[in-house]
Structure 1
């Protein structure tokens, strides 16, 4: 186990996006941490949709890759060197990471919703330049304020789902009280599947899952979905009449399905990030049904509730993890993660 006097190597292996279709495992410089930063020996990292977008498209939405960037924000690990200023957890502590750094800007936003702060940065994001490197590397220097201590009962492998589960938890909270309500989840990739697990725990009475592929639907059933529908099945979807819909596919077809599957006066939470620009969606139906369309973006302090729910076993998400690769096999891991017909959440094992 590392200690307070850990001598950092000059370089460490990292997963770096250099541009469209250009993903590499590079040796990157390891700098000395700032006073408020702890050195985290990364144990696991989960591959997110945004990581895939930077690799496949050289951009994630409107965040365009201009320089090589270390990917990764779904990470957990062990404190190898505590922050020099005395903040944060001690050496040897298992931690998850809240990857956001809220910051004010010239655009107004609700103070109690820092996820909407216009100056917010995120690990592994090209939203600003210089880019914010991620933490898909063996030793990551992270501010103490990002670290969340993990209970001893929670394995680091399962804890890798904390960040995406927090996104799902935030989306479910945007839906309001779902106890006794019927819910439709459109798109059953990792976020959709995690949303199903969160909604099940929150007391939803009936959950319908929709996806184009069998594998995501298999995972959806394992975490709590009652009915599985393979898209497109317009007649079956129109008959759902759900009180609450979670749209997590991230495309206009999925949003159309969400609107069609919602009951009159129902609520649609849009967590899947659609491409920028106009989208061909039948908004007239949302108007005549008086649907509530709500956006859901990242999360705030729901991460504490997720950690507690995973630790006490009340949030069952184990089936969401389908594959694990060593860091040296990161290219194969990304290739697997892009194939939603074969995989759920794909993890990188950093060998800690």
Structure 2
């Protein structure tokens, strides 16, 4: 068996690895597709993000789908050959944060491919992995395993909407239309947003935003003046989702949000300066959003029932043998949104 392992910045290797038999309550799964996420790119390009750094070799990846191979003791309701989306979220369920219903903040979280704890939590970019049976979610016969691997980034968008509260009938701005932002736009359509404006600095993500349901798209690199009407009368947007991690985008969000609007910071691009005078004077409700947990089941249901079509987000599928080059491709935002690795023929 082989895995995609990061040792340090720009030190990514395909290495031989081993997989055990599934234990009680577990499944052994043959991984089919894995999507390269922004956090995977941060590990590959910089060896981490913020204060988080890789201190030991770590398999990357957390956006995966697969096929059940073997059942552990006590597992029922599953069978070999079953096609599944796999949640990377494994909270303990017992700590005070989990008991408060905030499972995404679990004090003992085992999230695939995370260097936050030490020893690190190994990722899912391996030909075979062991999962807890509750991480498996069945997918519909018509849904491809490639599409099923989008359940994780779609879950991020769903959790961001949950943090915002109701968007029914609202005028909403999304800044940053990469895979998360574009899937967020599709989720906003399902949540009843009245009008969705999408802004980015490149044409490819804006094309995807339109395909996912944006009513208006604005290329900030060439037509930033189109935002001027949204700044009038203390701002026009009820809710802003900032999905790029850019300081300039956050500032733009504050310029165009109405007084007492809700600004959700989805993107994580590092520490930035906050214009506190504007934040206070407009009484903006600034809220972070981090990962997800119960939203994963909803994301799979939306994909299974065709309520969200994530295919426009997938720009390239690369065979496992070329996985290392896939990371450079994913980093080139001029030609890529979601780049997936095909681990197996499934």
TM range (shorter): over 0.9
Indicate the SS of the match to 1:142.
Answer: strand
Give the Å deviation of 1:247: 0.7
Indicate whether 1:237 and 2:227 are aligned. Answer: yes
Give the Å deviation of 1:85: 2.5
Give the Å deviation of 1:231: 2.1
Alpha-carbon distance in 2 for matches of 1:316, 1:151: 13
1:254-265 correspondence runs (5 A): 254-265=249-260
Work out whether residues 237 and 260 of structure 1, in 8 Å CA contact, stay in contact via their aligned partners in 2. no
1:44-63 correspondence runs (5 A): 44-63=33-52
Q: Identify the residue that residue 167 of structure 2 maps to in structure 1.
A: 178
Which of 287, 307, 316 is the equivalent residue of 1:323? 316
Which of 130, 145, 166 is the equivalent residue of 2:155? 166
Q: Identify the residue that residue 308 of structure 1 maps to in structure 2.
A: 301
Q: Identify the residue that residue 233 of structure 2 maps to in structure 1.
A: none
Work out whether residues 154 and 184 of structure 2, in 8 Å CA contact, stay in contact via their aligned partners in 1. yes
Work out whether residues 75 and 133 of structure 2, in 8 Å CA contact, stay in contact via their aligned partners in 1. no
**Per-residue deviation, residues 258-294 of structure 1 (Å, max 9, x unmatched):** 212211221111111231x4x2231221211111111
1:66-145 correspondence runs (5 A): 66-87=55-76, 89-103=78-92, 111-145=100-134
Q: Could you say if the C-alpha distance between residues 77 and 106 of structure 1 is closer, same or farther in structure 2, counting changes exceeding 3 Å?
A: closer
Give the stretch that moved more between structures: 254-263 or 316-325. 254-263
Give the Å deviation of 1:107: 7.3
Work out whether residues 32 and 145 of structure 2, in 8 Å CA contact, stay in contact via their aligned partners in 1. yes
Indicate the SS of the match to 1:239.
Answer: helix
Q: Could you say if the C-alpha distance between residues 110 and 38 of structure 1 is closer, same or farther in structure 2, counting changes exceeding 3 Å?
A: closer
Q: Identify the residue that residue 8 of structure 1 maps to in structure 2.
A: none
Moved over 4 A (4+): 104-110, 232-235
Work out whether residues 104 and 119 of structure 1, in 8 Å CA contact, stay in contact via their aligned partners in 2. no
Segments of 5+ residues of structure 1 without an aligned counterpart are 1-11
Q: What is the total number of aligned residue pairs between the two structures?
A: 339
Indicate the SS of the match to 1:179.
Answer: coil
Alpha-carbon distance in 2 for matches of 1:104, 1:88: 22
Which of 234, 248, 260 is the equivalent residue of 1:253? 248
Q: Identify the residue that residue 219 of structure 1 maps to in structure 2.
A: 208
**Per-residue deviation, residues 194-245 of structure 1 (Å, max 9, x unmatched):** 1111101222121111111111111111111111112256543353221111
Q: Could you say if the C-alpha distance between residues 239 and 283 of structure 1 is closer, same or farther in structure 2, counting changes exceeding 3 Å?
A: farther
Indicate whether 1:64 and 2:59 are aligned. Answer: no
Give the Å deviation of 1:336: 0.9
Work out whether residues 22 and 71 of structure 2, in 8 Å CA contact, stay in contact via their aligned partners in 1. no
TM-score, normalising length from structure 2? 0.93
Work out whether residues 188 and 216 of structure 1, in 8 Å CA contact, stay in contact via their aligned partners in 2. yes
Q: Could you say if the C-alpha distance between residues 58 and 263 of structure 1 is closer, same or farther in structure 2, counting changes exceeding 3 Å?
A: same
Alpha-carbon distance in 1 for matches of 2:38, 2:143: 25
Give the stretch that moved more between structures: 316-325 or 39-48. 316-325
Q: Could you say if the C-alpha distance between residues 83 and 219 of structure 1 is closer, same or farther in structure 2, counting changes exceeding 3 Å?
A: same
TM-score, normalising length from structure 1? 0.91
1:199-214 correspondence runs (5 A): 199-214=188-203
Work out whether residues 121 and 127 of structure 1, in 8 Å CA contact, stay in contact via their aligned partners in 2. no
Segments of 5+ residues of structure 2 without an aligned counterpart are 231-235
Alpha-carbon distance in 1 for matches of 2:303, 2:226: 34
Which of 252, 272, 281 is the equivalent residue of 1:288? 281
